[in-house]
Chain A
Amino acid sequence: MPVIEEITETLIRDNINRAVTDVFKTMLGRDPVLITSSEAIKNQPWPPFGHAPENASPIIAGTVGFLGDVNGMLYLYLDLDLARMATCHLLGMTEQELDTAGDEVVNDAIGELSNMTVGSFKNGLCNAGYPCKLTIPSILRGSNFSIEPISSTTRQTYYFECAGHRIVADILMKMI
C-alpha cells in the first residue's frame, strides 16, 4: 500500500500546475502561470496565510476534498473580480446579468471550477497509484479569513498569476 511520503513535492506541484492550467485554459481561455519566485510569494502571503491587508478585495475559496488511498482538501482562492469574470465567461453572461443573478451563481460557478481543478489534480494522483474519490464542493466567502490545518496535515501552497489576478491553490493532505 503506497503511503503519503511517496508522493513527492514534485508530483504535487506538477499535478496542481497541470490541473489549474488545464481548467483555466479549457474553460476560460486563460493561461495561468505558476509563480516560482519566493520573493513574489512573500510580498502577498494572504490568502491563505496571515491577515488581509486593508481594502483587500473579497475572496472566494472553492473547497473540494479527495478521499481514498490519500486524503485531503484543496482550497482554490480567487479574488471576487476574477471570480465574477470567470462566471461571466463560463455562463455567457454580462456583468449586468450577473448582478441580477446574484452571488449564488458566482458561488456555483467557482464551486464547479474548483471541482474540475481538484478532479484533475486527484486524477493525476489516481494514475500515479493513489486511487481516491472527490467530495461535493463547498464555498467560503469573505474579506479576512484563514484556514488552519491540524498538525498531522501536510500543507503545500501554490500561487498562480492569471490575467492580472492571483489564484492560490492550498493543498492539505493527511496520511492514512
Chain B
Amino acid sequence: MRYKILTVDDSKTVRIIVRKAFKAFDCEILEAGNGVEGLAMASKEAPHLILLDVTMPIMDGVEMLTKLKADPALKSIPVMMLTAEGGRDHVLKIAKIGVRDYLVKPFKEEVLIEKSKRIVDLQPYAEAPAKAKSIFDPANILIVEDKPAIIQQIQEGLKHTPWKVYGVTEQAEAVEFCAKTPADAIVVSLSLPEESAFTLFRILRNTTQTKYTPVFALAVKTELSQQQQALTVGFTGIVTKPLDFSDLEAKISKAMNLDTSQRYYLIDGGNLVMRLPENCTPAVLAESANYLKPKFAEAVDSGLSKVVIDIHQLKSLHMGIIKLLVQAMQNCQDLGMRFVLVGNPEIIAECKGFEDTRSWTFYDSIDAAKAYLANPNAGAPQLVSA
C-alpha cells in the first residue's frame, strides 16, 4: 500500500504543484478544495499526511484542523500547514491546535518533500518495494514500558498476529535492543521516569537504524497535555491506556504501511469474498472501504464475476456497516458481478429493522453461498430472508 497524502487547498495551482513535487515518490496524492471536502476525504481515505491551507472558502483550514483534532478517528493524522498566512501570532495559534509542521508559501518543492519525509517514510519510485508487506508477514515490535504487566498485556493482545512483541523496561535497554535487532515499530510509555520517553525518542530519531521507524507514545487516555506534547515532538501517534488491541494493531499496521486488504478481501474458489470482522469500528470500516473499489476492480481484471459478502462474524449492525454494504452491492452492479450475502441469525433479524436492509436475503453459510454461485440452477440452497 502506498502512502496517501491529502492536499487541501482552494487553489488548483497549489494542488498541481504538490502533485508535481511528489511525482517521483511512491505515494498517492488526494485533493480537496476546502475544509468540508478535506474532512470528508480524510474520513474516507485515512491519509498518512494532510497538507492544509488556511484561507479557503466554505470552511477554512483552522476550522478544519480544529474539527480534525476533535474527531477521535482522525486526530492522529499528521497535518502540515502549507499556507501564505505566516505571521508569528497566527503560526503560534495554529501550532497550539496541533500541527506537525508549518510551511509558509512561497515554498520550494524540495523543502516540502524534505519536511514531508520527516513525517512519512517516502520512497522514490525506483526504490519502492514491488509488493507491500502484508499483515501476514512477520515483524518486530518493541514495547518500552516500566510496568511489566502492561508489556505482558500487549504481548497477549497481539499474539494472534505474526509479529514478535519484545518488551524492555528502561531507555538504555531499548537503545541496546535497537542496536542489535531491527525494530519495525516501537511503543514507548510516557510514564517512564524523568521524561526519559522523550529522551529515548530523540535518540531513536538521531540513530540511522531507527530514524524512520514508527514510534508510538503510550499514555493514559486522560493525559491529554502529555499526548499533545508527544505529537508535537514528532511521535508517529498515540496509543492510550486502557489498551484497545484492535486499535493498537490497526495503528501499527498503518504506520508500517502494511497491506491489510487480506483482512477483508480474499479470492476463494473463483469468488471474491468480502468479509467484515466481529467488531466493525469506524477505523475498520474506513480501512475496508479504502480497499473496496480497487479489490473489486482487481477481481474483475482477473476474470472473476462472483462475490460473497460475508458478514456472519458481525455481532451487530449499524449505519456505517449498512452504508459500506450498500456501496459494495452497488459496486457489484456497476461491474456486472453476481453477489450473495452470508449472515448469522442475529444479523439477519437486525436487518428487518432497517428500511434499507429489509429486503436483503442471506445464506447461512459460506459453503451454501458458494454452491449457489457455482450453479444457480442446481436446487435451492438454504436462503433466509431478513
Contact residues of A with B, CB < 8 Å?
22-23, 26-27, 87, 90-92, 105, 108-109, 111-112, 115-116, 118-120, 122-123, 126-127, 131-137
Contact = CB atoms under 8 A, between A and B. Distances in A.
A92 B87 CA distance: 30
B360 interface: no
Contacts of B108: 26
B104 A111 contact: no
Interface stretch (B11-19, B196-204, B233-241): B11-19
Contact of B16 (A91, A115, A127): A91
B84 interface: yes
Contacts of B10: 136
Contact of B13 (A23, A91, A120, A134): A91
Contacts of A105: 12-13
Contacts of B89: 126, 131
A105 B55 CA distance: 19
Given A91-B20, A119-B105, A120-B106, A126 B13 contact: no
Contacts of A131: 87, 89-90
B57 A136 contact: yes
B110 to A, nearest CB: 11
Interface in B1-30: 10-14, 16-17, 20
A106 B256 CA distance: 40
A134 B87 CA distance: 11
Interface residues of B, number: 25
B88 interface: yes
A26 B87 contact: no
A134 B17 contact: no
Nearest to B54: A134
B282 interface: no
Contacts of B83: 119
Contacts of A127: 87-88
Contacts of A92: 20
Interface string B74-92: 0000000001111111100
A176 to B, nearest CB: 17
30 contacts: A23-B106, A87-B13, A90-B17, A91-B16, A92-B20, A108-B12, A108-B13, A111-B11, A112-B11, A115-B11, A116-B84, A116-B105, A116-B106, A118-B84, A119-B83, A119-B85, A120-B84, A120-B105, A122-B87, A123-B85, A126-B90, A127-B88, A132-B87, A133-B85, A134-B55, A134-B85, A136-B10, A136-B55, A136-B56, A137-B11
Contacts of B105: 115-116, 119-120
B106 A22 contact: yes
B21 to A, nearest CB: 10
A135 B85 CA distance: 10
B107 interface: yes
> When A and B form their complex, which 7 residue pairs have the shortest distance between CB atoms, in order from nearest?
A119-B84, A126-B87, A26-B106, A112-B13, A123-B86, A112-B11, A116-B105
Contact of A109 (B13, B55, B57): B13
Interface string B227-255: 00000000000000000000000000000
A122 B86 CA distance: 9
A134 B106 contact: no
A82 B90 CA distance: 33
Nearest to B86: A123
A7 to B, nearest CB: 15
B13 A123 contact: no
A76 to B, nearest CB: 13
Contacts of A119: 83-86, 104-105
Nearest to A27: B106
B103 to A, nearest CB: 12
A120 B106 CA distance: 8
Contacts of B86: 119-120, 123, 126
Interface in B27-86: 54-57, 83-86
